[in-house]
Structure 1
Amino acid sequence: MSLDLTQNIRRHGFKRLLLAVSGGLDSICLAHYFIENRDALGIEWLGIAHVHHGLREGTADRDAAFVEAFARKHNVPFFLKKLDGVELKNAEGSLEEKARDARYKALVEVFNETEDPRLRGDDNKDVIVTAHHAGDQAETMYMRLRRGTTLAGLRGIQPLRALDSIGHTCASRCGVTQQASLLIINHQSKFIYRPFLNVTRKELLAYARENNLTWCEDESNADVKFARNKVRHDLLPLLERECPGAKAQLCRIAELADRAYAKVIAKGEAVFDSILVKQDPSTPLRFAQDDTHTITLDKKKLNKILREHADADLSEMFRLWVAEQGFRFPIGFFYGPKEPAHVKIPHRAAYRKRSVAKIGHTIKICEFCTPEEAQKFVSCE
């Protein structure tokens, strides 16, 4: 891997890194790379975390022991987090998604437990690092394109993602379990960082051989009953045979969409930021719980903007801008062809845990702990 990768990592200025290491090829390469280059990268503290999902017998224990031995060999602090596999299997929803969310939550918990008081308050210096690579990006893009996606979805896996504090208070009150969203965190100074998104598996294999690295193979990664594994082993190889270079093109699309998205959001901020009403902490939102995440919009200012752009369709820009404020709604939620600028704000409506309500001269957009609370809020008179 080239010096360009080191320079790209250094520009972020991260000081405390927790490496998520499963024991597979990609994560072992990740761990070795950061350990070997920690001085060049300006790293002050480095740790390795392994999440044992409790879903595999025998080999999962082997993987945990392997990663621990690797960490000890390189004199790096090791942290093991064991999850309740039975709970994961019995909970509703996709096992892949539940395991992923539980894994991120476990990594956040490990990092919070190892926080260095000397660095507290030094924002944006803590980061959880994962080994997602170009193959993972291509798989994600293929899956999103197949099921349908938006401009935001076309960005694929993001190399750097902030962990938001939204949801922390709701989590404690609602008793969120292992499959809780990765939004649950104590503060906003931590990120998920994926520095290998432009590195191919072929390059990882070459790096491992060059440095005499060994790794573990997770047999569940070959089970094509899981959607991503089927894409990885069957569908993407078929596409690559039919259209050589397809995986690289999928990654390229993600890069282009990310640039376009940034421009759309910048324009959305210029258009809509003036409609945000600063919430007075002494006047809590009526009908909502104290820990509800809320933004308030000035209805009159919004209507003025829509009239000024009556010949344009601002619905998708508005939806993306609202999503950047922390509230995701489906395509078409704010679309009204008979409205000025094609943005329709429902009088009262709920979507999952989020709600929109016109109250007096304002528009309240709220995030609740449960869909029931969101529905109850919009049903109030």
Structure 2
Amino acid sequence: MSAIYLDCNATTPLEPRVRDVLMHFLTEEFGNEGSRTHAYGARAKQAVQNARDQVAMVVGAQRDEVIFTSGATESNNLALLGLSAAAREQGRCHVITTAIEHKAVLEPCAALEHSGFSVTYLPVTEGGWVDAKAVCAALRPDTGLVSVMAANNETGVRQPLAEIAEALGDHPAYFHTDAAQVFGKEIDMLRNKRIDLLSISGHKIYGPKGIGALIARRRGYERPPLRPLMFGGSQERGLRPGTLPVALIAALGAAAEISQREAEKRRAQCAAVRTQLMAALEPLGPRLTGDQSQVMEHTVNLAFPGLDSEALMVAVKDLVAISNGSACTSASYTPSHVLKAMGLSDDEANACVRISWCHLTESVEWGALADRLRQFL
């Protein structure tokens, strides 16, 4: 019997209904969306447009505000680096972000710094969230972009996007959020019209890997002044050249529509799992990471006194598959920059593990997991 998968913040299982859509467009409706001379191309084009509507509907956007990408990492790069040319022209070369962002935001910010931009990395509270007042205090006349994730992938702590949006008010700076962890899960959170740019990934909402989107909302009649990072075609309004992966796009659309429709049901299922997990582990005295009032229902980041994360994962590897950090930086054994930013010491950060689940997670024998851990404590 294989270990039960509990690493859904890294990637989710493929929803069976989404898999059916994916296979249909891989094997039956395999036309090129750019082919305009036959019905195969026309049906592919219609599938892509339908997916735009499905993705846009989740966040209250319009279909022409959806730019398909390979995932949130590419979307983040397109948002941050794609605005840089216009920012220079407008004299707005200051960026505000946080110390707990995913590397897909922090590394583009570093690239901007190397090209002459000024970047402010805001600290976070011990609870793992950035104070909206700190964002407001960091604003300058030359601030061109504010980028704050919607929820952290390691801790599950939601960020106060609504308060930040209100603090930004009518400041001309664009507001971007890496919404990979909350898209299709926290519906109202992403419908705030002051959020100009949103990055999403299909494989975080029970869709396939290799597909995502950047939602770029218009302000009135003006689109964010994005410039392409790659060249070679006019696809996606000239911002992302290359043949559109129709099957992946259709699957993302299906995943988005289902996620919106079933968000509350899935949230309740995840909350029930959390209750069972905490009831089993509480007698062991775990140290929970982050402000638990702001943590998403499907995530727990914790540590046990005297047991480092590597030893913990080895101890339970035949029971559950869990992680001790972001999958995107798993090759690095340095303490998590997220946990360090929250004030944890190296030893405390190295002791933390993340457990994340979803509505498709198999039933877990939490008592057996607790018994196994008790042997090492």
Q: Calculate the TM-score normalised by the size of structure 2.
A: 0.31
More relative contact order, 1 or 2 (CA 8 Å, 6+ apart): 2
Q: Which has the higher helix share?
A: 1
Q: Which of these two proteins has the greater Rg computed from alpha carbons?
A: 1
Q: Calculate the TM-score normalised by the size of structure 1.
A: 0.31
